[in-house]
Amino acid sequence: MSAESTPDPAIPGPGQSRTTGPGHRGKGRRRRPRTGRRKALLVAAWSAAGIVVLGGTGAGFLYFKLNGNLTSVDIDAALGADRPEKADNGSENILVLGSDTRSGGNKKLGGGTDDGTARSDTAMIVHVYKGHKKASVVSIPRDTLIDRPDCTDTDGTDHPAAEGVMFNSAYSTGGAACAVKTVESISGLRMDHYLEVDFSGFQNLIDDLGGVEVTTTEDIKDPDSHLDLRAGTHRLDGEQALGLVRTRHGVGDGSDLGRIQLQQAFVKALVHQVKDIGLLGNPKKLYDIADTATKTVTTDSDLGSVNSLMSFATGLKGIGPDKMHMVTMPVVYDPADPNRVLLEKTKADQVWTALKNDRPIPKSATEGTATGEAKGVVNTGE
C-alpha cells in the first residue's frame, strides 16, 4: 500500500487548537472530503479475544510462547484515581482501538506517521451487559472535534489539554492512556478494559481464519484502498478485508462515517465467522490463529496474560452477531469544515445514560444525526 500523501493543513496536529471549536454545531449537507489516504483498522474485542481462547488448549511451551507474545499497558497506573466510578451492575465497558504505524510489518501497508509512531483510526466502546449475553457497540468517528483533557502517558510524560482537536489526536499524543482518559471524559463511563489491534495483525488474522464472507448490495470500487468488489457475496482475504474497512471514497458520501457503517457490518460478519470456524479438529490451524492473535493485540495490564485473556474471552462467547447493537456516536457535520464532525451532546447523553444504567440504547439517540449514507452496502441480514 502506498504511504499517505502530504498532510492536510486543515487537520490539527497533536496538541493544536482550531479557531472554530466544537461549540459551533450544525447539520449542513456534507461535501465530499478532499482526497488523501486515511487508513482505518477494524477491530472487535470479542473477536480477537475469542480467537485467543481457542489457543488455550495448548500447554507447556505453547502456553509460554503465546503468553510471551502479549503486550500490555498499565492504564490504571497512568490515569490514577481521577476517573469515573466502576459500574456495580455487572456490566463492562471495553475501549477497542485499531492502530496503524509505519514501523515493523505495518510499514509496507502505509498509514501512521513517518517516525514509526502509531495513531488510532478506529475506536469502539463495547458495552457488555450484565449476564454477558448481549452487547452494544458505539463507534467514535476519528474526525470528531473534541476538547481533549490533560493526560499522562504510560511513560509518565504529561500532555496539556487541547480544545477543538480531532478525537484521534488523543492516541497519537499520549497513547493508550490518553485515549482512555479522553473517551472517559466524553462519555462519563469507566473503561474497564482496553484492547488494541494493529494494522498488519488484522490482515494476518483474517488470512489465518481463511477469509471472511460478506455480501455487498452494490459495487464498491476505491483505488485508494485497492478495493474492487462487484455487488454479491465474496470471501475476503486479509488484504481485501483491510481494504473494505479502510475504504471511504467508494461508498456513501465518502466520509469517515460511511466507513464506520462498513466496519460495523464487517464486525458482525467476523464474529459469525469466528463462531462457526470449527478449529478443534485442526490443532495446527488453531495454534497459528492463537499465535497471530496474541501477537496482534495490546491489552490493559489486567488482561496481559493468556489466562486472563482466556477468562475474558470465555465470558464473551455467548454474544453472537444477533445480540450486538451497533451505533455511531451521535454527531453532526461541522458547518465550518465539511471534513469534521461535532458531538451532538443531547443525543450522545442519551447513549451514555443508557449504557451507564445497563439499558439498551434508545432509537431516538441516533435519529437525525449524521450517518455517512453507507448503511446497507454490506448486508448483515438485518
- In three-state secondary structure terms, 55 is helix
Q: Which residue ranges make up each domain of the chain?
A: 45-208+251-379
Please say whether the beta carbons of 291 and 201 come within 8 A.
Answer: no
Closest CA to 111 of 23, 194, 1, 25: 1
Given a cut of 50, whether residue 95 has pLDDT beyond it is: yes
Position 35 scores a pLDDT of 37
- Which pLDDT value is given to residue 381? 54
CATH (residue range 45-208+251-379): 3.40.630.190
Asked whether 77 and 344 are in contact (CB, 8 A), the reply is no
Per-residue pLDDT averaged across 364-371, rounded? 85
198-238 pLDDT, tens digit per residue, is 877 888 888 988 888 888 888 888 877 778 888 899 999 99
Cα–Cα nearest to 324, from 140, 130, 126, 131: 126
- According to the model, what pLDDT value does residue 179 have? 95
The cell for 312 is 475474558
Which residues make Cβ contacts (< 8 Å) with residue 346, sequence separation at least 6?
none
Write the DSSP assignment of 170-229 as a string of letters. Answer: HHHHHHHHHHHHHHHHHH-----EEEEEEHHHHHHHHHHHT-EEEEESS-EEETTTTEEE
- Tell me the C-alpha distance between 110 and 116, whole Å: 11
pLDDT per residue as tens digits for the range 105-123: 433 433 444 444 566 678 9
Q: What's the mean per-residue pLDDT of the chain?
A: 77
Higher pLDDT, 43 or 344: 344
pLDDT in tens, 272-288: 777 666 555 567 777 78
Classify strands 92-100 and 119-128 as parallel, antiparallel or unpaired. Answer: antiparallel
Q: CB under 8 Å to 380, separation ≥6 — which residues? A: 265, 268, 269, 321
C-alpha cell at position 373: 449514507
Span 57-65, average pLDDT: 61
Query: Looking at residue 151, what is its pLDDT?
Result: 93
Per-residue pLDDT of 284-302, as tens digits, reads 777 788 888 888 889 999 9
| Amino acid 24: pLDDT | 45
Q: What is the pLDDT of residues 4-41, one digit of tens each?
A: 333 343 333 333 444 334 444 444 444 444 433 333 33
The pLDDT-based confidence of 315 (bands split at 50, 70, 90) is confident
The pLDDT assigned to 50 comes to 41
Does position 376 have pLDDT exceeding 60, yes or no? no
